[in-house]
Amino acid sequence: MSEWMKNVRKTEPYIPGEQPKADNVIKLNTNENPYPPAPGVKKACREINTDKFRLYPDPDVTELTAVIADYYGVNESEVFVGVGSDDVLAMSFLTFFNSDKPILFPDITYSFYDVWAELFGIPYKRPALKDDFRIDINDYMEPNGGIVIANPNAPTSLYEPVSDIEKIIAKNSSSVVIVDEAYIDFGGESVLPLIHRYDNLLVVRTFSKSRSMAGIRIGFAMGNPLLINALKDVKSSFNSYTMNMPAIILGIEAVKDDVYFKNTLEKIINTRNRVKAELEEIGFMVLDSCSNFLFASHENIPARVIFEKLRSENIYVRYFDKPRIDNYIRITVGTDSEMDAFIEALKKIKKSVDIC
C-alpha cells in the first residue's frame, strides 16, 4: 500500500438508483418526473448566447435567486441556490453541524444523511420511526447538534403535519433544524412560512422532482438571512462558481411557467392515487403517499422477488435491502401508460407466483 493512502478520507459513498443506459426501459426507480420541463426551458436552451460561455457565471446566482425568492414570497437574502438539493444539504451539514453533540434524523429516511455525517465526521443518532413509519416527535426533544427531517419522508412517502414539525423547531432553538421538502409539491403544507418566526429553520427544496429538472441540478434552501449568509460563506470557500450558465438560465424558465408546473403536478397526483388503488386491489399494502412515489409491500410475494422480476421485464423500481423496509418496493409515479404496463407486469408476476 502506498503510504499516502493512510491519509485518505474513508467513505461509504451514497449509492444512487440505477441509471440504465438503454432507452427501452420503464424507469420508476429514482423519483424523476415523467414529464419534460416547461416548454420555455427548451426555447431558452435554443437561444442561449453560447459565446458567453467563455466568461465565468455569476457567482451569486443573482437572477435565479431573485426569481425563486419572488415565486415563494421571500426575500432574496433568504435564498441559497446549489447544484441540486444534495449539494445544498452537503454544504448545510458542513456549515451548521459542528457540535460535539449528535445530530438527529430518523432511522428510515433519505440515505444520504448518514453518508454526509460520516464524510464530515459529524456524530449522529437515528431515532427509530414508529411501527407505522411515522415520526415520534418526542425523540427530537433531547440535546443535539442539529436535526434533519425529510417531509414528506423518503422512501416512506409519508407526510407529517406542520404543527408537529413546528414543535421540533420551537424546542430546538439552539440547533439548526433542516426540513428537506424535496417532495412537498406533491402534497402537504410547507413549513416555509415558519422561517420568519424561527431563525434556526432551513427549508430545502429541489428542481429535480416537481420541476422535471434532475438533469440540470438545481436545489435551494430558504431560511433566515443569518443561515443563508453562513451557507454562502462556506459555499464560497469551496467553489466560487457552482452554478453554470445553462443551469441559471434554464432554472429561471422552469420557475416562470406556473401553469405548466401545476398541470404536471395534478397529472402525477391523479396517476398516483389511481395506481395506489390498483395496487391495493392486487394485494399490496400501500402507504399514504404525499410524494411522487409509492411505498408498497405485498401480502405474499417478497419485495425482492417483485423487484427482480420487474427488472427482468425492463421495469426498474427501487428496492432497499435494509432492516424494516426490506419487504417494500418504492415505485416512482410515471406516465399513465408506464403505470399501466407496470400494473400488467405485476399481475403477470402474481399469476406466476400463484401457480408455483
List the interface residues with a copy of itself, window 189-208 (CB under 8 A).
199-200, 208
Helix axes 303-312, 336-355, angle to 10 degrees: 120
Of the candidate residues 22, 24, 46, 312, the single one contacting a copy of itself (CB under 8 A): 46
3-state secondary structure at position 110: coil
Site string for a copy of itself, 88-117 (x = CB under 8 A): --x---xxxxxx---------------xx-
Between CA 131 and CA 150 the distance in angstroms is 18
Report H helices in the chain.
Answer: 39-47, 62-72, 84-96, 113-119, 162-171, 225-236, 245-256, 258-281, 303-312, 336-355
Q: Give the nearer residue to a copy of itself in terms of CB position, either 96 or 342.
A: 96
Interface with a copy of itself by CB under 8 A: which range of 2-10, 135-143, 275-283, 319-327?
2-10
Work out how close the CB of 12 gets to a copy of itself at its nearest, in angstroms, rounded to a whole number.
7
Is 337 among the residues that bind a copy of itself (CB under 8 A)?
A: no
In 3D, which of 279, 310, 30 has the Cα closest to residue 154?
30
Q: Which of residues 119-158 bind a copy of itself (CB under 8 A)?
A: 119, 145-146
Work out how close the CB of 229 gets to a copy of itself at its nearest, in angstroms, rounded to a whole number.
10
49: its cell numbers? 448566447
Whether the CB-CB separation of 171 and 123 falls below 8 Å is answered with: no
Q: Give the nearer residue to a copy of itself in terms of CB position, either 248 or 345.
A: 248
Is 61 among the residues that bind a copy of itself (CB under 8 A)?
A: no
In 3D, which of 72, 140, 70 has the Cα closest to residue 107?
140
Q: Which of residues 239-278 bind a copy of itself (CB under 8 A)?
A: 239-247, 250
Q: Give the nearer residue to a copy of itself in terms of CB position, either 48 or 141.
A: 48
Of the candidate residues 104, 158, 176, 315, the single one contacting a copy of itself (CB under 8 A): 176
CA atoms within 13 A on the CB side of 113: 25
